[in-house]
Each structure stands twice: as C-alpha cells, then as structure tokens.
Amino acid sequence: MLIRKYREQFKTKLADLYDVHEVDQFFYMLLEEYHHLKRHELALDPTLELTDEQQSLWDFATSQLIQYKPIQYIIGKAYFYDGVFMVTPNTLIPRPETEELVDLIVKENLAPNKTVLDIGTGSGCIAISLAKNLNQASVSAIDVSEKAIEIAKHNAKSNSTSVNFILQDVLALQSLNVNYDIIVSNPPYVRNLEKVEIKNNVLDYEPHLALFVADDNPLLFYIKITELAIGALNPNGKLYFEINQYLGPETVQMIQSYSAFSEITLLKDIYGNDRMIKATRK
C-alpha cells in the first residue's frame, strides 16, 4: 500500500479521538521512526510503498493510539530541549513547560563550574540537559524509582553527558550533606481532585508516583525540598521549581515563610499559566 494512502486511513481512524494537528504530528513522528523520513521527503517520493512488515508496525501503532497510549511510549523516546530521551511507563514524558524551566536555568547561570542537584529526575531530562548546556557544571540527580534511575543513566550515556544519579526518597532525607549552587525540582504536584482534568493518555499510562499528591498536602514535596535547600544551597545559590498552576501564590508564600530566600519570583509558562518559581538563597 502507498504510504500516502495509508495516511488517509490513519487520519480517519484517529479523527474522532485527537485534533487534526495531533494526528499529523503522530503520523510524521512515526514516519521518521519507521522510515527515517522527514515530511518533505515523503512529498518528494509520493510512490513510497509500505512492506507488509512496515504496515504491521503502523497498524500496531495506530491501535495503541486508539487506546490513548502516548506516542512517546509507542516509539520509546521523547525529544526535549536539544536531546533525545528514552522514555517508558516508568518515567514521565518530558513536556514543553519543563523545557522552559531548563532554558531559564541555562540563561541565568552562565558562570562555569556550577554544582547542580535535580530532585525527582525521572528520565533525567532536566539533569542531562543542564549537564550539556551549563558551562562545566557538576550535576547530580535523585529519584525514588530504581527503574527511572536506570533509564536516566541510559539517557545520560546516549546524550554523552556525565551525571551522578542517586537512588533516594527525598522525603526520607534529613539533609543533603553536600552544598550546591543550583537545586531544581519538578516534583509530583497534581492533586487527586484534578484528575478529572487529566487526559486519558496521561492518566492511564504515565506513572502516578511521579504525578499525584494528596489533596490535603499538595505542597508536600515543595516544603521538603525547600527545607533541604536552606541547608544545602550556597549563599546566592538558586532554587528552581516547576509548580502546579493553581498553587502559585501558595507555593511562593510557603517559601517566603522560611525567610531564607530573596528574590522569590513566580513565572508563567508559554500558555500563560503560573508554572515556575525561582528563589535566591540569602
């Protein structure tokens, strides 16, 4: 079958489940994954045919998309900042908002030899991107999931970076015992009451351990990490958080309550939602 003809079937099967732009994105991601072709290359070769084996791959991917499985889990990788990262259902899929956080850190920390800690690293996308883009930085990363640490180590190697990965439950720590210039975290922050807003592709497939917190203690991780940062950040060191868009002022007030930080700033993401906080250790 001509791949151009298959594309029409692909779009028809998914039309009621996703918007047209998402379906196009899925098609071209699979085209690159299965055929190593870009959009324009298909346009230049309209006679390209699928073998039976290739069509089986496409059929399976389509069936998975119909079940709302994220495309990144189907192809086993995600693109983030300037890298390619292996992802599995043991790790969250990196998001554009988190790229904004990485970009902010890179632009604000131009001096060389920074020491960095990423708490709740998952796939390692934040830690590895900072190791690649900060000037001679020494980067460590913590996660509670052994499987996530294994994936993060793979991603560090495939992205030609060196990161010190630590298997650790941050909530069990009393102190970090090492000083840092930068501490960054994108911890679990979605309240259970917000599950109704979560799409099936996230709710059914991404790890709940990395997503959700109890409704009655939504700042659990932020409080713990802020307390650890007070003891571990060097003077003028930076604390960066990705946050729940509905809890921006509350998170700022929590950090302010410790009187250990100056220049506490709440920042919006590209969608206009409260998404990041940065603070400087006094």
- pLDDT of 197 reads 87
203-220 per-position pLDDT tens digit: 889 889 888 898 999 999
Check pLDDT > 80 for residue 117: yes
Average pLDDT, the chain: 94
Check pLDDT > 80 for residue 45: no
12-23 mean pLDDT: 94
- pLDDT of 123 reads 97
Check pLDDT > 80 for residue 55: yes
* Residue 266 falls in which region: left (phi positive, over 0), alpha (psi -120 to 50) or beta: beta
Check pLDDT > 80 for residue 9: yes
Looking at 126-135, 145-154, 192-201, 262-271, which range is the least confident one?
Answer: 192-201
Q: How confident is the model at residue 157 (pLDDT cuts 50, 70, 90)?
A: very high
Q: What is the number of residues in the chain?
A: 282
> Is 182 in a helix, a strand, or coil?
strand
Check pLDDT > 80 for residue 44: no
> What is the Cα–Cα distance from 136 to 74, expressed in whole angstroms?
35
Angle between helices 125-133 and 146-158 (to 10 degrees): 30
**Distances in whole angstroms, Cα of residue 279 to Cα of each of 66, 97, 124:** 43, 18, 22
> What is the Cα–Cα distance from 81 to 96, expressed in whole angstroms?
8
> What is the Cα–Cα distance from 239 to 232, expressed in whole angstroms?
10
The fraction of the chain above a pLDDT of 90, given in percent, is: 83
What are the DSSP calls for 23-48, one per residue? HHHHHHHHHHHHH---HHHHHH-TT-
Q: How confident is the model at residue 39 (pLDDT cuts 50, 70, 90)?
A: confident
- pLDDT of 160 reads 97
What are the DSSP calls for 58-98, one per residue? HHHHHHHHHTT--HHHHHTEEEETTEEEE--TTSPPP-HHH
| Helices first, then strands: H and E counts in the chain | 11, 11
62-98 per-position pLDDT tens digit: 999 999 999 999 999 999 999 999 999 999 999 999 9
Check pLDDT > 80 for residue 260: yes
Token pair for 187: 């911890």
Structural contact between residues 126 and 116, judged by C-beta atoms closer than 8 angstroms = no
Structural contact between residues 121 and 148, judged by C-beta atoms closer than 8 angstroms = yes
- pLDDT of 209 reads 84
- pLDDT of 60 reads 97
How many beta carbons lie within 10 A of that of residue 259, not counting itself? 9
> Is 260 in a helix, a strand, or coil?
coil
Looking at 32-41, 58-67, 247-256, which range is the least confident one?
Answer: 32-41
9-22 mean pLDDT: 94
- pLDDT of 167 reads 97
| 149: Cβ contacts below 8 Å, ≥ 6 apart | 121, 143, 165, 166, 167
- pLDDT of 210 reads 86
Q: How confident is the model at residue 120 (pLDDT cuts 50, 70, 90)?
A: very high
Structural contact between residues 219 and 277, judged by C-beta atoms closer than 8 angstroms = no
